[in-house]
Structure 1
Amino acid sequence: MTCIFCNIKEVILENNLAFAFYDKFPVNKGHLLIIPKRHVEEYFELTNEERTAIDVLLMEGKTLLDKTYEPDGYNIGINCGKAAGQTVFHVHVHLIPRYNGDMEDPRGGVRGVIPKKRIY
């Protein structure tokens, strides 16, 4: 099976171990995915160096998105395993810009992965 992320050409940000690109199915305008260059299925399999490289691009991505889209907040998420909703088995970190009014009540944030648990 060919990994769709191993063949990405539309790189927005890059360092020696990771790169970022815009999500083809964005949750909001500016939604970035940050992935290691090495094919690794889950976050917990990354090396310390790969995690650091991804973190550097998260910060660079935020700077870029702040300038380009001026979001009001962010969600950062990683789906680890099929039960967590992972559909592409090459680890990827979502950097999702959030905008005032993009949903009626954003309280609970990432807790919304289980909708009935979002508001507590």
Structure 2
Amino acid sequence: MNKHIDDNCIFCKLANGQIPTNSIYEDDDFKVILDAAPAAKGHAIILPKTHAANLFELPDEYGEKIFAIAKKCGKAIKETYDYDGLNVLQNNGEAAGQTVFHLHVHLIPRMKDDNIDIKWAQGECADGEKIAEEIKANLTD
């Protein structure tokens, strides 16, 4: 796959071995490292070795591999620490909580009553049919 590296991006440096990491998985296109400020023991992040600020900039061929890697690494973390659940989390843009603008996917092991708060207030979807039609009108390949 084509690889673009941003010399000013800390996650590009981590993913491509310019800065030492605690890596749990690596292939030609991705590196999975333990988060330096983990929410829980075993919290890891999946880093593409190509620079993309967010999901919308990530080449499709990279996007197709991310969930397979999340499954593989999430399963290994579960076998190691026997957690109760796993958040697979990816933020796009500052308003969504993204703080490093290199796409990354968090694998956060969860235990019942662990007090990690990844929740939102649930609203209502009163105009569901209209909203669905509006979004469908903007779908592209």
TM-score range, shorter chain: 0.7 to 0.9
Task: Report the counterpart of residue 46 of structure 1 in structure 2.
Answer: 58
What are the equivalent positions in structure 2 for 1:80-95 lying under 5 Å apart? 80-95=92-107
Counterparts of 1:96 and 1:119, CA distance in 2: 25
Q: Does residue 77 of the first structure (1) align with residue 89 of the second (2)?
A: yes
Counterparts of 2:88 and 2:75, CA distance in 1: 14
Percent identity over the alignment is: 38
Q: Give the TM-score taking structure 2 as reference length.
A: 0.71
Aligned partner letter, 1:39: H
Q: Secondary structure at the match of 2:32?
A: strand
Q: Secondary structure at the match of 1:86?
A: coil
Aligned partner letter, 2:76: L
Aligned partner letter, 2:8: T
Aligned partner letter, 1:95: L
Indicate the RMSD between aligned Cα atoms, in angstroms: 2.2
Which blocks of at least 5 consecutive residues in structure 2 are unaligned? 1-6, 15-19, 125-141
Bigger radius of gyration among the two: 2
Deviation at 1:52, TM superposition (A): 2.0
**Distance verdict in 2 for CA 1:72–1:79, change over 3 Å:** same
Which deviations, in whole Å up to 9, do the C-alpha atoms of 1:28-67 show, x marking residues without a partner?
1111100110011001211221012222210111121012
Counterparts of 2:80 and 2:123, CA distance in 1: 31
Q: Secondary structure at the match of 1:12?
A: strand
Deviation at 1:16, TM superposition (A): 2.0
Bigger RCO (CA 8 Å, 6+ sep): 1
Counterparts of 1:23 and 1:119, CA distance in 2: 32
Which blocks of at least 5 consecutive residues in structure 1 are unaligned? none
Q: Give the TM-score taking structure 1 as reference length.
A: 0.82
Q: 2:12 aligns with which of 1, 6, 14?
A: 6
